[in-house]
Structure 1
Amino acid sequence: GSLPMEEVRKWRQEVTAAYQGHPSQPVTISLAAHLQTFDIPESLLQELITGVEMDLTINRFATFADLNQYCYRVASVVGLICLKIFQTQSPAAEDYAVKLGLAFQLTNILRDLKGDAEQNRIYLPLDDLQRFGYSEEALLHQQDSPALVELVKFECERAHTYYQQAQEILQTLPPSDQKSLVVAEIMRGIYSRILKQIEDQHYQVFGPRIRVAPIQRLKIAANIWMRSLFSHRIAPSV
């Protein structure tokens, strides 16, 4: 309704106020102190807010191009902001952040198909559903079928492609940038595990929500962290 949109409008104005030096909310007062330090462009934060607006107004995406734009705003932009904080030097790191954000969001969408369907939200592109012969109604009613398996398999492979592309870009970055991205790589390890669990359960996405156990997360983080400490590069060979 209009109330959430009104809140979004207020936050838009508040972000601008933070850049102009007169924020009024505790979070933006705190944020303002770091915006100049890390040279974070206002356009990135406004783009993120546009992504929130899309969540309030859109519950279907006709094509992957439409979904891609949404993923960029709610996920890749977060990565681009983080690059400023991590202080990477190579322009190619931006491509890495964009690809990885897209992979993360596609993974989230696949993991949350059931919960989103319960709220009348379908994030998978409708033309993909049509291509595999799986209807909106079937998804909303959480109907398992061979068509669903093929659809989810296709979307998992698409997500893998973006993880792979991010990985290939990472390998081209200077060692200093690779070390700066260790947190992003830990997230990649965890989200890749979610994708693998979807595949391991034969693309059955209407069961209990997939979670990576804390001990598994710790092992993934430790492996990547140790690799960053004892190697010039953190990217494993592709």
Structure 2
Amino acid sequence: MTGSRFDRVLGCHAADLAAVEAIVTRAGTSFAKGMHILSRERRYGMFAIYAFCREVDDIADGDTKVENPVEELEAWRARVAHIFQNETQNALDRVLAATIQEFDLQQKDFDAVIDGMLMDVPDPVIAPDEAALDLYCDRVASAVGRLSVRVFGDASEEAARVAHHLGRALQMTNILRDIKEDSDRGRLYLPQELLSRFKVPAAPQEALFAPGLDGLARVLAKRAHDHYRLAWAAMKKCGKKPMRPAAMMAASYQPILYALEKRGWTQPEKPVRVNKALRLARSLIVGFR
């Protein structure tokens, strides 16, 4: 593959880079396309982070059939520790090690992601209290943000603030969008305090069509909007070029939240339409630039 697009990216072998990109491609999301605004080094760094997240998330979700998911996730924690010592065994390990070194990524953030997955196994999250929900959002989303902003090119406190608020905003949007899907998996990420306030049962399937679900979800949506607002404010204090991918993620997800609010949660199984809301996304990106 001499002379290919893979040569000498992060100092990694072409075959290793191709193997990591294949993990991203197999996921079938738009993530890879979105990362093409980055330089090759930063793009493959993000591919490595995404591939790590994909692997541990598949274990937690049961998409990777393993006998003991807790043991598998703890094995990943040990594997991360070895990678930080530059002890690698396969393509993903090697590209992760190069990414860690190039962008000064922190081991505690990888561990936090694994801790977030462990919150959902062996027993699924059901009606966590407010503190537990915030911790879950930090681990599964904001920790990924902290890794990502460094790869984007900004390791400042303001960039960490972007990760803090945007991670929570995105995760809350996911929770509000996926209430039906999560209930089918026996999960309910809505906080105990709001469930009690709106008299919504803490059982995943019973919560789906409870009369108070719409009011509860709108309170959580307002919190998500607050996090988006604070994330945008922090982005404006960072360099525009490093924050472009973060701005794109915010501008892609916030319209979903608006569309969910328009649909409401009296029929949480009903798909949302975001075409009109995407016009808002374009205006947000233009405003950020």
TM-score interval for Structure 1 and Structure 2 normalised by the shorter chain: 0.7 to 0.9
Q: Whole-Å Cα distance in 2 between the matches of residues 64 and 27 of structure 1?
A: 35
Residue of structure 1 aligned with 2:233, choices 168, 172, 185? 168
Match of 1:18 in 2: 83
Letter matched to residue 138 of structure 2: Y
Deviations 1:13-37 (A, max 9, x none): 1111111111113211221111111
SS at 2:224 equivalent: helix
How has the CA–CA distance of structure 1 residues 122 and 89 changed in structure 2, closer, same or farther, with 3 Å as cutoff?
A: closer
| 2:178 corresponds to 1:103 | no
1:104–1:191 Cα contact (<8 Å) kept = yes
Residue of structure 2 aligned with 1:81, choices 147, 152, 171? 147
Alignment of 1:15-94 (within 5 A): 15-57=80-122, 58-88=124-154, 90-94=156-160
Q: CA deviation at 1:206?
A: 2.1
SS at 2:259 equivalent: helix
2:180–2:208 Cα contact (<8 Å) kept = no
Residue of structure 1 aligned with 2:288, choices 229, 234, 238? 234
SS at 2:119 equivalent: helix
Deviations 1:64-98 (A, max 9, x none): 11100000000001110011101115311211110
Q: Whole-Å Cα distance in 2 between the matches of residues 112 and 205 of structure 1?
A: 12
Match of 2:48 in 1: none
Q: CA deviation at 1:62?
A: 3.2
2:109–2:147 Cα contact (<8 Å) kept = yes
Letter matched to residue 94 of structure 1: A
- Higher mean displacement: 34-43 or 203-212: 203-212
Q: Whole-Å Cα distance in 1 between the matches of residues 201 and 117 of structure 2?
A: 26
Q: CA deviation at 1:12?
A: 1.0
Q: Whole-Å Cα distance in 1 between the matches of residues 177 and 74 of structure 2?
A: 30
Q: CA deviation at 1:45?
A: 0.8
Q: CA deviation at 1:169?
A: 2.1
Match of 1:180 in 2: 242
Structure 1 unmatched runs, 5+: 228-232
| 2:221 corresponds to 1:156 | yes
| 2:252 corresponds to 1:190 | yes
Q: CA deviation at 1:208?
A: 3.4
SS at 2:102 equivalent: coil
Deviations 1:119-159 (A, max 9, x none): 2111011121001111124x413553441111111111111
Q: Whole-Å Cα distance in 2 between the matches of residues 204 and 50 of structure 1?
A: 33
Instruction: Work out the percentage of aligned pairs sharing the same amino acid.
Output: 30
Alignment of 1:121-136 (within 5 A): 121-136=187-202
Provide TM-score, normalisation by structure 2: 0.70
Q: Whole-Å Cα distance in 1 between the matches of residues 208 and 282 of structure 2?
A: 39
| 2:205 corresponds to 1:140 | yes
Q: CA deviation at 1:41?
A: 1.1
Match of 2:262 in 1: 200
Q: Whole-Å Cα distance in 2 between the matches of residues 5 and 150 of structure 1?
A: 36
2:251–2:282 Cα contact (<8 Å) kept = no
Q: Whole-Å Cα distance in 2 between the matches of residues 187 and 140 of structure 1?
A: 30
How large is the Cα RMSD of the aligned pairs?
Answer: 2.4
Q: Whole-Å Cα distance in 2 between the matches of residues 211 and 79 of structure 1?
A: 27
Q: Whole-Å Cα distance in 2 between the matches of residues 82 and 28 of structure 1?
A: 17
Q: Whole-Å Cα distance in 2 between the matches of residues 180 and 204 of structure 1?
A: 40
- Higher mean displacement: 121-130 or 141-150: 141-150
